[in-house]
């Protein structure tokens, strides 16, 4: 058995390709996300033996040949060149692949097996729950409701008198990080549009979420209870699957609030906090699924905004250096 990375270079997958991807998720514990580097693609990861791999590759190649694969290269480069600079991607446009399946053995994703396993597990929890809804139009509000069920279930595990709202803090943090990247004009426009939309959604009852648990909530809480002993034994910390040095690099251009929150002096608040760590893994996995559910990056940040507004006073959504 080998772990494989399989990239299907398509813009919009055919029914056949979607069916094969669903089989790999359901029957072989594969995970999937959408990417753009070196061409629009669907990225599958999972373990197969060689004899099982070849028939699936043939199925995928057939599905790709039936899919929408063509687009304008110059428009594609223009769309992603700023993203490539931010991510410091290596040759993301050379080459640009289309109508192709590329298979590689993937011995590891991160530096530790534990990190690989947690990454695959959290991604597969969402894939197994949502895969039949991928590549369709989906309601952002249903997704927010699902993630709110998980966060509300974490509330009882927050350390009292520590920091308020840790079960939801990842959304506040990510919203502030997003706003910090915008110039003044863009920031004011986004804040105005999000506030108007939130107030309308609230008035229409779209944010009256049912917080009763679903199978997804139970699977995510099972993951939380799985990692708690690892955190207690200090085998898992907040920085993983990255390292403090990488966080320091990000902090150079971060908001004042993030610089204060994640300073060395405040490490004790988050480094071995199981609620914060679980949120980090689960939320980052969820983000990879939003595009598959037909939702946009702006939808993601509106989700962050909604959950933050429902949890914290509105003034907390601003950047300021915490004392």
Q: Can you give the pLDDT of all 323 residues of the chain as single tens digits? A: 999 999 999 999 999 999 999 999 999 999 999 999 999 999 999 999 999 999 999 999 999 999 999 999 999 999 998 888 877 777 899 999 999 999 999 999 999 999 999 999 999 999 999 999 999 999 999 999 999 999 999 999 987 755 667 899 999 999 998 998 889 999 999 999 999 999 999 999 999 999 999 999 999 999 999 999 999 999 999 889 987 777 677 666 666 766 666 677 777 778 899 999 999 999 999 999 999 999 999 999 999 999 999 999 999 888 764 44
Where on the phi/psi map is residue 137: left (φ > 0), alpha (ψ -120 to 50), or beta?
beta
Helix-then-strand count for the chain, H and E: 13, 4
CA dist 176 and 319 (Å) reads 6
Question: How is residue 49 written in tokens?
Answer: 């033996």
Neighbours of 50 (CB within 10 A): 9
CA dist 285 and 12 (Å) reads 22
Neighbours of 111 (CB within 10 A): 12
| pLDDT score for 84 | 84
Q: What angle do CA 196, 198, 200 make, to 5 degrees?
A: 70
| pLDDT score for 247 | 65
Detail the DSSP E strand segments found in 92-246. Answer: 100-105
Helix, strand, or coil here: 167?
coil
What is the CATH class of 2-107?
alpha beta
Domain with CATH 3.30.70 in the chain: 2-107
């Amino acid at each position: 058995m080998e772990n494989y990375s399989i990239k299907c270079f398509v813009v919009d997958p055919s029914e056949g390709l979607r069916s094969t991807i669903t089989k790999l998720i359901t029957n072989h514990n594969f995970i999937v996300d959408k990417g753009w580097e070196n061409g629009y693609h669907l990225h599958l990861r999972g373990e197969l033996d060689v004899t099982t791999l070849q028939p699936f590759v043939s199925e995928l190649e057939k599905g790709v040949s039936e899919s929408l694969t063509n687009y304008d290269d110059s428009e594609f480069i223009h769309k992603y060149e700023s993203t490539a600079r931010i991510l410091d991607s290596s040759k993301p446009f050379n080459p640009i692949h289309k109508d192709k399946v590329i298979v590689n053995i993937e011995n590891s994703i991160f530096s530790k097996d534990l990190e690989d396993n947690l990454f695959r597990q959290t991604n597969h929890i969402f894939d197994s729950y949502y895969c039949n809804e991928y590549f369709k139009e989906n309601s952002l509000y249903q997704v927010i409701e699902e993630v709110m069920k998980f966060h509300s279930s974490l509330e009882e595990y927050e350390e009292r008198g520590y920091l308020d709202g840790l079960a939801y803090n990842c959304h506040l943090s990510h919203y502030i990080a997003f706003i910090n990247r915008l110039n003044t004009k863009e920031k004011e426009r986004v804040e105005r549009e999000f506030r108007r939309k939130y107030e309308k959604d609230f008035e229409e009852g779209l944010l009256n979420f049912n917080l009763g648990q679903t199978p997804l909530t139970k699977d995510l809480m099972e993951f939380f209870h799985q990692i708690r002993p690892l955190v207690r034994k200090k085998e898992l910390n907040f920085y993983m699957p990255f390292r403090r040095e990488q966080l320091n690099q990000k902090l150079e251009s971060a908001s004042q609030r993030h610089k204060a929150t994640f300073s060395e002096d405040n490490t004790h608040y988050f480094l071995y906090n199981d609620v914060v760590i679980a949120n980090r893994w689960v939320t980052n996995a969820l983000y990879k699924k939003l595009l598959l559910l037909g939702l946009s990056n702006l939808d993601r940040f509106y989700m962050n905004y909604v959950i933050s507004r429902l949890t914290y006073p509105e003034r907390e959504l601003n950047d300021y250096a915490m004392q």
